Amino acid sequence: MDEIEKGFEKLKEKIDTLAELQEKGKSLSEKIRTNDVKLLERMAKSAEPVVKTIGLNILKKGKQDTKGELYDPQYYTEKMIILGKTDPAPCRPDNPAVQVVDQFCVLSEEGSFFEVMYSFDGFLTDSYLHPITAQQIIDQYGYDVMFMLYSALHDYLKGEEELVAALEKVIGYVFVRKN
């Protein structure tokens, strides 16, 4: 076999391997899709300690002055991370007369999913915390929520690994023993 034929055979092998990988990827993707709710629920449970550490206190209500600045803000006591945003519902479930201006999917530090629905009447920014299931999240927000949760977990872990490595270096430097 000359070099061109050897190269062609190698190329064919790579194409065959790629086709096999693509087929395996399709079957795994389908398996994930059929178990997406379970996966999202397990990810949320795994993220509880992370949310307690990196979560934010989300605005519950606040008054707005004439310059658009908030004052007298009140926050939810439980920390949360924002996982997605969607087009707002026409009205809030707790009061159909109140229009929703912003709507976010959040994960609480207890591993529960909620939608935070914000309303604004020209003076008061108010919110409603609406519980939501993993299935409803996937239906309404799509897989972006799963990706955002994965990214939060990944980034947190990476930051912790870097911190531990830095601490190991500092401890090694500070406690150097002379022979």
Q: Which burial class, exposed, middle or buried, applies to 1 when counting CB atoms under 10 A from its CB (0-12, 13-18, 19+)?
A: exposed
> pLDDT tens digit string along 52-76?
999 999 999 999 888 888 889 999 9
Q: Which amino acid is at 53?
A: T
What domain range includes position 52? 35-174
Contacts of 86 (CB under 8 A, 6+ apart): 103, 104, 105, 140, 141
Residue ranges in the chain modelled with pLDDT below 50 = none
Q: Say if pTM beats, i.e. exceeds, 0.85.
A: no
The answer to whether residue 14 is domain-embedded is no
Q: Is residue 42 in a domain? A: yes
Q: In the predicted model, what is the mean pLDDT of the chain?
A: 86
Is 22 among the domain residues? no
At 1 the pLDDT is 61
Domain membership flag for residue 29: no
Nearest partner of 99 among 121, 115, 84, judged by Cα: 121
The reply to whether 150 falls in a domain is yes
d(CA 130, CA 121): 20
Q: Judge whether 3 lies within some domain.
A: no
The answer to whether residue 19 sits within a structural domain is no
The count of structural domains within the chain is 1
Domain annotation covers residue 21: no
